[in-house]
Structure 1
Amino acid sequence: MRNILLATAALTLIAAPAMAQDPASPVTGSIGYTQLDTDGGDLGAVTGRVGYDFTRNFGVEGEASIGVKDDDITFGGVDGKLEHDWDAAAYGVAKLPINPNLELFGRLGYGTTSVTADVAGATASADGESVNYGVGANYFIDGRNGIRADWTRRDFRDDGAGEADTYGLSYVRRF
C-alpha cells in the first residue's frame, strides 16, 4: 500500500509542471521579412501580422508591409527604380497541428498593394487589388516564441496586372 501511495505522489509531482503550463493563446503576432517576386522586379518588405484562432484549426489573420528593398528596372532602354510602398491583406487561415510546437497552415484572403516606378524623372504609382492564397508553417521553440516560413501568391485583379509570389521568414509569438 505504501508503494502505491509513493508511486501516486511521484506521478503527481511529475505531472504538476505540465498542468501549470498555460494553454496555447489564440492570439499570435509576427514580424519579419518578405521577398516579393514579380514580373516587373524583385522587392522586399518588413511585414507585421496579427492573428486570432477561433479553434485549433481555423482562424483569421491580418498583415501589413512596408517596402524596404527597391529594384533597378529598365523601361524602353531607360534605367529607373521600382519601389514597394506598402501592402495590406486579410486572410482566413486553416491550420493542421502536427505536434504542440509545429503547425502547417493554408490561407486565403484579399489584399491591396501600392508600388511606385520612377523612370527618367517620370514617376507613376499604382495600387493593385489581389486575391491571395498560400501555405506555410509555424515552429514554436518554447510554446510561445517561434519562427514562421510562408509562401503566398497574389493574383492581381486588374487586367494584365499579373501575379506576385511572396516568400516570408518571421519571428512569431503567441500572446
Structure 2
Amino acid sequence: MRLLCALTLCLITSYSNADIKSGVYINVDSGWSHYSAAKETNDVNDISFATRIGYQFNRNFAIEGQLVGLGFSRNLMRFTTDQEFTPSYNYGVNAVGILPINERFDLLGKLGIGRTRMESSLRAQSDYDETDANLGLALRLALGTSWGIKLESNYFNKAKVTIAMLGFDYHF
C-alpha cells in the first residue's frame, strides 16, 4: 500500500505544470447512483457508468455530449420497489464552466439538458423518454496536458437521480 501511494505521489508531482489543453476530449466514468423514489423506503442505490465526448474551447468553457447509464434495470426494480417507472439511462448535452484553482486543479460546474429513459416495471405500460435537466459539480486533477482524473457528482431533476463518479479524461 505504501508503494502504491509513493508511486501515485511521484506521478502527480512529476507534472508540476500540467495545464489541460483545449480541444476535443473523451471522458469515461463509473460510480454510484441513488434513485429517490416516491416513497423513502424504496430509495435504491446501484452502479452507474458514463461516457462523454466534448470540446474545450478555452481554459474556462467546454461543451459535451453525454450518455449516462443510471444503473436501474427494470428487472431489478420489479423485485425491489413497487414503483411503476424507473430511470434507466440519460443522453444529452452539457455546458461546462471551468474555474482553474491552480495549475493542477480545476473546479467544473455543469448545466445540461437531455432525455432520460423511464422504464416500466409493468408489462401493460410502455417505456417513455422524459426531458430532464441536470446539474453537476466536479473536481479535476490534471496529470499532464492530455490526462486528467475527475471526481464528479450530478443530479437529474425529473428522474430524481443523484450520481457520484470517478473518471478519466483524455484530451486530444
TM-score using structure 2 length: 0.70
Return the alpha-carbon distance in structure 1 between the equivalents of residues 23 and 96 of structure 2.
13
* Structure 2 counterpart of 1:165: 162
Deviation at 1:82, TM superposition (A): 5.3
Q: 1:93-104, aligned counterparts within 5 Å?
A: 93-104=96-107
Q: 1:55-94, aligned counterparts within 5 Å?
A: 55-66=58-69, 70=73, 71-72=76-77, 73-75=80-82, 84=88, 86-94=89-97
CA contact (8 A) 1:114 1:128 kept: yes
CA contact (8 A) 1:101 1:143 kept: no
Deviation at 1:111, TM superposition (A): 1.2
* Structure 2 counterpart of 1:139: 141
Task: Name structure 1 gaps, 5 residues minimum.
Answer: 1-20, 157-161
Which residue of 45, 51, 54 maps to 2:54?
Answer: 51
**Bigger strand share:** 1
Return the alpha-carbon distance in structure 2 between the equivalents of residues 169 and 118 of structure 1.
30
Task: Determine if the alignment matches structure 1 residue 127 to structure 2 residue 134.
Answer: no
Local SS of the residue matching 1:54: strand
| Partner amino acid, structure 2, of 1:87 | N
Count of aligned pairs? 146
* Identity value in percent: 22
Return the alpha-carbon distance in structure 2 between the equivalents of residues 88 and 68 of structure 1.
14
CA contact (8 A) 2:47 2:70 kept: yes
Return the alpha-carbon distance in structure 2 between the equivalents of residues 137 and 113 of structure 1.
25
Q: Which has the higher contact order (CA 8 A, sep 6+)?
A: 2
Which residue of 91, 113, 116 maps to 1:113?
Answer: 116
Considering only CA atoms, is the larger Rg found in Structure 1 or Structure 2? 1
Structure 1: which 4+ aligned runs deviate by more than 6 Å? Answer: none
Mark the CA change 1:81 to 1:164 in structure 2 (over 3 Å): closer, same or farther: closer
